[in-house]
Amino acid sequence: MSPKPYEIRAHFDRDTIMIYQAYNASIAKPAIQAQTFVSPFSFNRMTWIKPSFLWLMERSNWGQKKNQEYILGIRIKRTAWEKALSKAILTSPKKRVYQSGEEWRKKFKQAEVYVQWDPERSIRGNSLNYSSIQVGVSRHLIQDYVNDWIVEIIDYTPLVRKLHKLCKQGDYSKAKKQLPKEKLYPLPIDINAIIGGSL
C-alpha cells in the first residue's frame, strides 16, 4: 500500500521515537557528551525536530551545509511527542483542519508547537508524493524538550558520511540498506486530526 499524503513515518519503539537535528560541532559535541542540550544551544529560539532521516539529509545536504555538519539522532519519549502534537498549530491555514483563516490566526499567535508538512525525499533527493512532518518546538517548551523529553542522543555523523560517500559513488542500493528503519507511526485519531494527518 502506498503511503498517504500526510503520514508520520519514524523509527520508534514502545516508549520512544527518534527525531533528527543537524548542528555544528560547538553544539553537537557537548550535547553528545551530556546526553542533552547545553550551552551554546539556544534556549530562547524555536528548534525544529524531524522524524524523517532522509528529509534531514535533504535539508542539511548530508551534513555538508555550514553549521549542519553534525547529525544527531535524538530519542525522545513518545508521551512527550504526542503531547506536543496535541498542542500543535499548522504553519498555514489548511481547510481540512481549520474552519476559517481567522480561527487559524488566533491559534497561531498563541501556539507553543508548530507543524509543517513538506514533500518527503528519496535517497536520491527527489520529492515523493507524500509528505514528511517537521515540528517546531517554541521557546516556551525548549526547557521541557531539553530536560524532560530526551532519552538518548546518538551521533549519526559517521553513518551520514558513509552513506553520503556511497551515494556520491552511485551505490544507492547499498546505502538504502543502511538507512534507519522507519514505519508508520500509530498516532491517536484526535491528535491526527489536529495536525491534518491523512485518515
pLDDT at 184: 97
**pLDDT digit string, tens, across residues 27-73:** 999 999 999 999 999 999 999 999 999 999 999 999 999 999 999 99
Residue-wise pLDDT tens digits, 120-145: 999 999 999 999 999 999 999 999 99
In the chain, the amino acid numbered 88 is A
Report domain extents, the chain: 9-190
User: With b meaning 16 or more CB within 10 Å and e meaning fewer, what string describes 79-100?
Assistant: ebbeebbebbbbeebeeebbee
Global pTM exceeds 0.85: yes
The residues, any chain, with a CB within 8 Å of residue 146's CB and separated by 6 or more, are 36, 37, 41, 43
Mean pLDDT estimate for the chain: 96
How would you write 30-74 as a 3-class SS string?
A: HHHHHCCCCCCCCCCCCEEEECCHHHHHHHHCCCCCCCCCEEEEE
Q: Amino acid identity, residue 151?
A: V
Q: What is the pLDDT of residue 133?
A: 98
